[in-house]
Amino acid sequence: MKAKIFMTLAIVGALCCSCTSFDEINNNPNDPSEVSPKLILPNICESAFSRGTGGMYADKMVVQTDGHNAEQFYEWNRGSFSTYDSELLQVTKLKEESDRTGEVIYDGLYHFFRAYYFYNLTLKFGDIPYSESLAGESKGQFTPKYDSQENVFVGILDELKESNDELAQAAVKNETIDGDIIYNGNAGKWQKLVNSFRLKVLMTLSHKGQVGSHNVKQEFLQIAGLPLITNNSENGQLSYIDQEGNRYPQFNAQWSGFYMDKTFIDRLAERKDPRLFLYALPTNEAANAGKKVTDFSAYAGGDPTVPYGENKNLVGDGKISQINSRYRTNPTGEPTILMGYAELQQILAEAVVRGWIQGDAKQYYENGVKASFDWYHTYAGDYSQYVTDEAASAYLQGDKVKWDDQLSNEQKIERIIFQKYCVSFFQGGWDPFFEHLRTGYPEFAHLADNPIPYRWMYPDTENKYNTQNVEEAVKSQFGENNDKITAMPWWLK
């Protein structure tokens, strides 16, 4: 990533994120109405590749000790459509400007980022505005209809195919994508990321056989033969630099009340997973007793189902682990991954188990684990000593980790999903939560009267300004006036 490109983020952020109408841009003499695509792309990448921390509570990785956290207790209600007015608006602007300048090389990324954001939106809500969305400026369409979730996924798969086709042409011509802070302009590597993400989307649809004209199994098999991410060096990841505004998101973070979850600690400890040493610190009690970093009994988490005051008492007693300080002391931290080789290998392993493709599920599974260890060995600084090749090989022999062909398919999938889960710490966003909804793994602790939600309710702004369309969407999916977080969307049925 080049510093001179990354420095444009603040400028482009002001241009693309702080407004909801491009009229405001055009009418402001201090802002240009025309912007080169290469100046818009860095901010799009930065937004998409930074996954945030909100999902870590729902994913049962961390607990809050200084207040009640709604995500931890599955007590959220309404979600936000802010993605339409921020990230997707930037993507739309990228297309407008690349059309203006005739730089068709950006079309592949335009379709990829649209697919990526609509994928996340539909998983959160169900039916969403898609075909008529983002047409306020161009067509005066400010109350878009809602597309069925199935049709949204059809659109996502179609756009990803278009993205692959566009990037493949650019790669053959050896064209460079200016402003690319992920792959330094390499269209071929973007194509590999896009195709890998296509497999992820199709695996998300494992409950479905047919999605519109797309046969899930057949399309997965076809895409698996296209260019894919082949090693960690091709990961879709954003690296950071030690420069104001461009540092690792957790650098100097104020983690008041941010501690480890007991279920996450216990799962790693019982598997003797050395990645625990990279994620957490020994409790103060264990440290004072002279226990080593490599002593799994030195780590403990808080119960995610009890009132926060009980976990706060553990803090005072030194009986709960903090998040490893490496995350907030290193200005460049570790790259944030949108999708990488380790995840792809586990997706391929699951596809073999499900009978979607031919291959060696054990090899894919072990490749994924080894890739994770290797990635952390590269980026974990002083903790790299715990995630060597030898450590990965030893870990793969553990009773709860080792691949056994005698296991049932369900047991194999459980092991695969756990490996995707445990590498999502500060990386996966809400992915582990949606994986849990899809597969049931890993199990998430919750109160009996707080069942795990399937979705978020639609924003109040939709009820106020797009009333008819949102009411029709709710009725067609869940029944009249049944916009609830416990209502099951199409993709899970």
* The three-state (H, E, C) secondary structure of 157-176, written as one string: HHHHHHHHHHHHHHHHCCCE
Mean pLDDT over 119-126 rounds to 99
Model pLDDT, residue 438: 99
Q: For the chain, how long is the longest CA-to-CA vector?
A: 69
Are residues 127 and 146 in contact, defined by beta-carbon separation less than 8 angstroms? Answer: yes
**Total Cβ atoms within 10 A of residue 11:** 14
- Residue 242 Cα to chain centre, angstroms: 24
- Spatial separation of the C-alpha atoms in residues 271 and 398, rounded to whole Å: 7
Average of per-residue pLDDT values in the chain: 94
Residue 473 lies in a domain: yes
pLDDT in tens, 437-453: 999 999 999 999 999 99
Residue-wise pLDDT tens digits, 81-104: 999 999 999 999 999 999 999 999
User: What are the strands, taking DSSP E only, across 323-362?
Assistant: 336-339
pLDDT band, residue 137 (cuts 50/70/90): confident
What percent of the chain has a predicted confidence (pLDDT) above 90?
A: 90
Note the pLDDT of residue 1.
Answer: 45
| 453-482 mean pLDDT | 98
Count other C-beta atoms under 10 Å from residue 242's C-beta.
12
**CA–CA dist 43, 49 (Å, integer):** 10
Please, which residues have CB within 8 angstroms of residue 208's CB and are 6 or more apart in sequence? 216, 491
Q: Which residues contact 387 (CB under 8 A, 6 or more apart)?
A: 274, 275, 278, 373, 374, 376, 377, 380
CA distances from 82 to 44, 78, 325 (A): 15, 12, 32
Peptide bond into 442 cis (omega under 30): yes
Element (H, E) at 236: strand 236-238
Give 491 or 24, the one with higher predicted confidence: 491
Q: Are 156 and 118 in contact (CB under 8 A)?
A: yes
For 8-43, the pLDDT digits (tens) are 433 333 333 333 333 333 444 455 678 999 999 999
Q: What is the percentage of the chain residues whose pLDDT exceeds 70?
A: 94
Decide if 247 contacts 240 (C-beta within 8 A).
yes
How far is the C-alpha of 153 from the C-alpha of 214, rounded, in Å? 10
Number of domains in the chain: 1
What is the DSSP secondary structure assignment for residue 167, as one 8-state letter?
H
- Name the band, by pLDDT with cuts 50, 70 and 90, for residue 3: very low
Evaluate whether 229 touches 236 at the Cβ level (below 8 Å): yes
Would residue 191 count as lying in a domain?
A: yes
Could you report the per-residue pLDDT of 258-292, keeping only the tens digit for each?
999 999 999 999 999 999 999 999 999 999 999 99
C-alpha dihedral, 81 to 86 to 91 to 97, nearest 10°: 140
pLDDT in tens, 207-233: 999 999 999 999 999 999 999 999 999
Q: In angstroms, rounded to a whole number, what is the distance separating the alpha carbons of residues 19 and 264?
A: 40
Three-state SS at 302: strand
How much is the pTM? Answer: 0.93
Considering only residues 397 and 7, tell me which one the structure prediction assigns the higher pLDDT.
397
Q: Tokens 């997707």 sit at which residue?
A: 88
The Cα 214–Cα 158 span in angstroms is: 9
Average pLDDT over residues 361-369: 99
Residue 465 to residue 353: CA distance in whole angstroms: 46
Query: Which neighbouring-strand residues pair with 457?
Result: 78
With respect to residue 408, please indicate whether it lies within any of the assigned structural domains: no
Nearest-5° Cα angle at 469, 211 to 156: 30
What value does the mean pLDDT take over residues 421-430? 97
For position 118, which CATH number holds? 1.25.40.390
Residue 340 lies in a domain: no
Whether 300 has a pLDDT exceeding 60, the answer reads yes
Q: Is residue 159 part of a domain?
A: yes
Of the candidates 17, 18, 22, 24, the residue with the CA atom closest to the CA atom of residue 43: 17
**Termini Cα distance of the chain:** 42
Residue 280, beta-bridge partner list: 323
Question: Does 166 reside within a domain?
Answer: yes
Whether residue 91 lies inside any domain: the answer is: yes
The predicted pLDDT at position 138 comes to: 74
Quick check: is 133 in a domain?
A: yes
Among 45-54, 115-124, 134-143, which range has the highest average pLDDT?
115-124
Residue 460: which domain range? 81-239+455-493
What pLDDT band is residue 347 in, cutting at 50, 70 and 90?
Answer: very high
